[in-house]
Amino acid sequence: MENDKKKSFGEFITQRRKALGLTQREFADKLFVTDSAVSKWERGMSFPDITLIRDICEILGVSEHELLTASEDVEARSAEKLAAKYRRYARSFKLAQYILYGGAALICLICDAADGGGFGWSLVVLASLITAASLTLLPALVPERMGGVSAALGLMASVTLLFGVICAVYGYDWFAPAALGTLFGLWLLTGPYIVRRLPLPEALRHRKASLYFALALLLLLALLGVCCLREGGGWFLTAALGVLLGLAVVLLPFVMRQLPLPRELNRHRALVWLGVVTLLLAALIPAAGARYLWTEAYPLMLVAMAWPWALLLCIRYLPGFWQFKAAASCAVTALWIWLAPWGVQLIIEANGWVATNTYDPLRPYGVDFSDWASAPTLGGNIAVTVMLALTLAAAALLALGVRRQIKTPRSQ
């Protein structure tokens, strides 16, 4: 086995040496060894010293892997050729873009200057060329992994520059809303990709979703502020609170999982979430210009928010088996469906308003199971049916919970 390796090794050296037109003596002189040593290698009588491997590879034009395996690495050589071809193509591609963009910019600047009125439309063309180059040339100038990030960030910056140049050249005043609106849209599309690729600090590395949503929110609020200033209106606070309320309802539970909350608050994330939503709603009501704030608006808000708060307390904080929590949730929902319209009516009447349809808690929603044809009766029948179904479900779940509670000590 050893002799076969020496023989194949010697044949490989002989083949490569002859392919390069070298004699044994010339090959030996380059390695500073005797020609008899080379002859022993080629006849399979011995291996060269390990310190000569690198020099042999350099002279014969082979890799260390090819020399040690005594065979040509066709795949590696093909990959090297393709890599070299790609590098030549990349250089040609970048050179062509330099010539194309530079030539177009130079021609436009010369033509614009020849008119005698200074630089005007040529600056717009130049900014447009920069926008195009941010998508085609910029990714080729940065490391491959950051090509997409550079294209996205470059597009944002170049489009902002283009809007600024157009407004400066032609005297328009829509730069701020156009730039912020474009940045907001581009961030919504490319932000997830950008935050995944950017080398973020350790504190933000595991909070990429929070960073994405925070920047999107800042851009949206800035856009609303600019639009409000342009129109001379005072609706910014209302719009901002409405946006914050909507985002808090949908996204705050996911964002809170990535925030470094104290241990006491981390155990009560649902309570914190609903508390923030309630506070934002309470702030939005006066910002929207609601009348009778303390006598009507806030009491109506309390009636509406009583149901989610009761559900949270039942699901999260009620002790016992899940059957008890589900039973309490069904009972609370049925109770709210029954009494909420009555509470709304009492609040309205306390403020001097007269309700067109009086709500009777003893006959909720004007229920009439003998009449399912008219629209008002049909809606009331459905509401009462749902309420009764929830009550029956609560009773069944409560019975299951009691049964489990009785059996649990016996099984232990």
Buried b (16+ CB within 10 A) or exposed e, 128-150: bbbbebbeebbbbeeeeeeebbb
Calpha distance 187→96 (Å, rounded): 30
For residue 384, is pLDDT > 90?
yes
Please write the tens of the pLDDT for every residue from 181-232.
Answer: 999 999 999 999 999 888 888 878 888 888 999 999 999 999 999 999 888 7
**Does this model's pTM top 0.75?**
no
Whether residue 115 is predicted with pLDDT greater than 80 in this model: the reply is no
Task: List Cα–Cα distances, 72 to 21, 204, 357, in angstroms.
Answer: 18, 48, 93
pLDDT of residue 328: 95
How far is Cα 58 from Cα 316, in angstroms, rounded to an integer?
Answer: 73
Under CATH, which number does the domain 2-72 receive? 1.10.260.40
Q: Mean pLDDT throughout 143-166?
A: 89
The pLDDT tens digits of the residues spanning 1-22 come to 556 566 677 788 888 888 888 8
Could you tell me the pLDDT band of residue 103, with boundaries at 50, 70 and 90? very high
Closest by alpha carbon to 163, among 151, 179, 152, 177?
Answer: 179
Alpha carbon dihedral 141, 147, 151, 153, in 10-degree steps, equals: -100
Instruction: Report residue 177 as tokens.
Output: 């809303």
Q: How confident is the model at residue 77 (pLDDT cuts 50, 70, 90)?
A: low
Cα four-point dihedral sign 15, 20, 22, 27:
negative
Please determine, for residue 116, whether its predicted confidence score (pLDDT) is greater than 70.
Answer: no
Cα dihedral 395, 399, 405, 411, rounded to 10, equals -150
Domain boundaries, the chain: 2-72, 292-412
C-alpha closest to that of 237 among 176, 284, 178: 284
How many angstroms separate the CA atoms of 4 and 55, rounded? Answer: 24
Q: List helix spans (H) across 70-174.
A: 74-114, 121-136, 138-141, 147-170
DSSP states of 298-326: HHHHHHHHHHHHHHHIIIII--S-HHHHH
With a pLDDT cut of 70, the percent of the chain lying above it is: 94
Placement of tokens 């979703």 in the chain: 209
178 pLDDT higher than 50:
yes
pLDDT of residue 117: 63
pLDDT above 80 (res 271): yes
Note the pLDDT of residue 56: 82
The least confident of 1-10, 323-332, 399-408 is 1-10
The CA-based angle 361-367-372, given to 5 degrees, is: 170
Lowest mean pLDDT across 21-25, 78-82, 150-154, 358-362? 78-82
